[in-house]
Structure 1
Amino acid sequence: MDEQRRTAASWFHELRDRIVAAFEALEDRASGDAPAGRFEVTPTERAEKGGGGLMSVMRGGRVFEKVGVNWSEVHGTLAPKAQAAMAARGVPGMAEDPRFWASGISLVAHMQNPHAPAVHMNTRMFWTPGAWWFGGGTDLNPCIDYAEDTAHFHDTLRAACAPHGADYYDRFKAWADEYFFIPHRGRARGVGGIFYDDLNTGDWPADFAFTKAVGEAFLPAFLPLAERRMGQPWDEADKDAQLIHRGLYAEYNLVYDRGTKFGLETGHNADAVLMSLPPLAKWV
């Protein structure tokens, strides 16, 4: 399993590098008086806990108001609360041995233009002495819906899932619809995507290949939408709608998101964990 862990962590890092390059290239193609945005990259460490990563954040670009593309590889011992939660999920051996290793990429983009959708993506591998699994997904979060954008996003994900399991897209889309839902608002946070967790079919290469397919599908699913909408005219009413929608996004990530809870409970860099929060939001 050591070799598989190294392979997975390396691939997540490579995917991070490609997405950062693609987003900076999109900034270069965009018109505007502001300088093209660039990522600020900060190494992160879990002091006295084990491992770290890279926090890559761009602020105030031509296309992206704030976007984070983080990579991490961490290990150590789970805190009692996190250990108990995983034991309750049925992770083999977790009640007796709280050691863990995890690596992945996490991305959230908040856009300058209200017509351009916000987006989230992550893929990860998790290991304990008794088990391993993959998880992740991506979902689109427009404040102004365009049916053609939603269709393109889902069609790209459907095509990525198809070679790996006949039911994968339908099953993981339904899981995303359930997971990316804000109970106290009675609504979804966006127009969905796919979400999966605890993926262990017993075939590590196959499960890793699917996880790579999800990561590989992200840029083809999202970049055409960002490029299509980044120059579209907008007014103050559009911006107001965007800020209100961002409030919903912030509520979800702070109250329900598994990754936020896990990152804070395991002592990862708080700024890296909370990079998903929008730069500005509004509540009515």
Structure 2
Amino acid sequence: MSDVFDERKARASAWFRALRDEIVAAFEGLEDSHSEGPLSDAAPGRFEVTPTTRTADDGSDAGGGLMSVMRGGRVFEKVGVNVSTVYGTLGAAAQKSMAARGVPGIEADPRFWASGISLVAHMQNPHAPAVHMNTRMFWTPGAWWFGGGSDLNPCLEYDEDTAHFHAIQKAYLDPHGAALYPELKAWADEYFYIPHRKRARGVGGIFMDDRNTGDWEADFALTQDIGRAFLPAYLPLVEKRRTMGFGEAEKNAQLVHRGLYAEYNLVYDRGTKFGLATGHDPDAVLMSLPPLAKWV
């Protein structure tokens, strides 16, 4: 069985890297094609790519990945697309958390392996929505699962944009079962909620965690389609909104909304907590935070 999962780990890690490459190319393409509207006379943005490393408590190598961040582009004010594959031994707090979630045998054998892609985009134009996407695979000697999803975070909401984003998600999920999209949409509505603000951080999307139906191939195929849905769900919205004019009021609304995003990621996001608790590069973990935000 270990040989089987070695092969599956390699396939999952390669898939997340391929998806990263596709998204980075598409986002730089948006920068190149922005020929009218605000900031169209600026230089097109490019990703700065930095290797990331994770070091175990004993100083040994524990994996790493790539942090790809674009700052100050024509379309994207800040966007990060990270991939990583990390492994090692979970600390006591992480073991306790996993055990509480029902992961079998984690306290007796706390080895783990995790790989995934994480993306957050903050836009120059307040009419263009911010967005988040991630997919991942997690393995321990006693269990494996997939997780992730994507959600739209506009500061200025357009009903037709929300409808398009959700329609594409549904189209990619329906081949995996008609009940899946409503389930993952409801999960996203619950997960991306800010209790202390009593509101959602955006207009929703899809989300799953601990996905293990017993059929690894089927669950991996679903995870891939969640990743494949991202660009067709998101790119048309940016293309439509990036040329719209805006003023101080719209920019102010954007900065206040970014404050909500920062609060959620620092207080509630499970991925942020896991990344920091397991010793991954903090700059990569906190890549999701906006470049500027405002609180009233």
Q: CA deviation at 1:33?
A: 1.8
* Letter paired with 1:13: R
Residue of structure 1 in register with 2:51 after alignment? 43
Residue of structure 1 in register with 2:181 after alignment? 169
Q: CA deviation at 1:175?
A: 0.4
Residue of structure 1 in register with 2:130 after alignment? 118
Q: Deviations over 1:194-215 (max 9, x none)?
A: 0000000111110000000000
Give 1:21's match in structure 2, choosing from 21, 25, 28: 25
Greater mean alpha carbon deviation, residues 208-217 or residues 46-55? 46-55
Secondary structure of the equivalent of 1:35?
A: coil
Secondary structure of the equivalent of 2:232?
A: helix
Secondary structure of the equivalent of 1:56?
A: strand
Question: Which structure 1 residue ranges, 4+ long, deviate > 3 Å from structure 2?
Answer: none
Give 1:221's match in structure 2, choosing from 211, 219, 233: 233
Give 2:155's match in structure 1, choosing from 130, 143, 150: 143
Give 2:80's match in structure 1, choosing from 68, 83, 89: 68
Secondary structure of the equivalent of 2:218?
A: helix
Normalised by the length of structure 1, the TM-score is 0.99
* Letter paired with 1:43: P
Q: Deviations over 1:197-241 (max 9, x none)?
A: 000011111000000000000000000001100110111000000
Rounded Cα–Cα distance in structure 1 between residues aligned with 2:91 and 2:240: 45
Give 1:88's match in structure 2, choosing from 100, 103, 108: 100
Residue of structure 1 in register with 2:8 after alignment? 4
Q: Give the superposed CA RMSD.
A: 0.6
Rounded Cα–Cα distance in structure 2 between residues aligned with 1:83 and 1:18: 35
The question of 1:199 aligning with 2:207 is answered no
Q: CA deviation at 1:95?
A: 1.9
Q: CA deviation at 1:79?
A: 1.2
Rounded Cα–Cα distance in structure 2 between residues aligned with 1:235 and 1:23: 24
Q: Deviations over 1:237-263 (max 9, x none)?
A: 000000000000000000000000000
Rounded Cα–Cα distance in structure 2 between residues aligned with 1:166 and 1:153: 18
Q: CA deviation at 1:160?
A: 0.7
Give 1:273's match in structure 2, choosing from 260, 285, 292: 285
- Structure 2 spans left out of the alignment, 5+ residues: none
Q: CA deviation at 1:151?
A: 0.2
Secondary structure of the equivalent of 2:95?
A: helix
* Letter paired with 1:98: P
Residue of structure 2 in register with 1:79 after alignment? 91
Secondary structure of the equivalent of 1:42?
A: strand
Residue of structure 2 in register with 1:97 after alignment? 109
Q: CA deviation at 1:22?
A: 0.3
Q: CA deviation at 1:165?
A: 1.9
Secondary structure of the equivalent of 2:209?
A: strand
Give 1:248's match in structure 2, choosing from 242, 254, 260: 260
Rounded Cα–Cα distance in structure 1 between residues aligned with 2:78 and 2:9: 31
* Letter paired with 1:255: V
The question of 1:233 aligning with 2:241 is answered no
Q: CA deviation at 1:170?
A: 0.3
Name the count of aligned residue pairs: 284
Greater mean alpha carbon deviation, residues 88-97 or residues 134-143? 88-97
Q: CA deviation at 1:34?
A: 1.2
The question of 1:282 aligning with 2:263 is answered no
* Letter paired with 1:223: L
Rounded Cα–Cα distance in structure 2 between residues aligned with 1:184 and 1:242: 20
Residue of structure 2 in register with 1:34 after alignment? 42
Rounded Cα–Cα distance in structure 1 between residues aligned with 2:96 and 2:65: 25
Secondary structure of the equivalent of 1:50?
A: strand
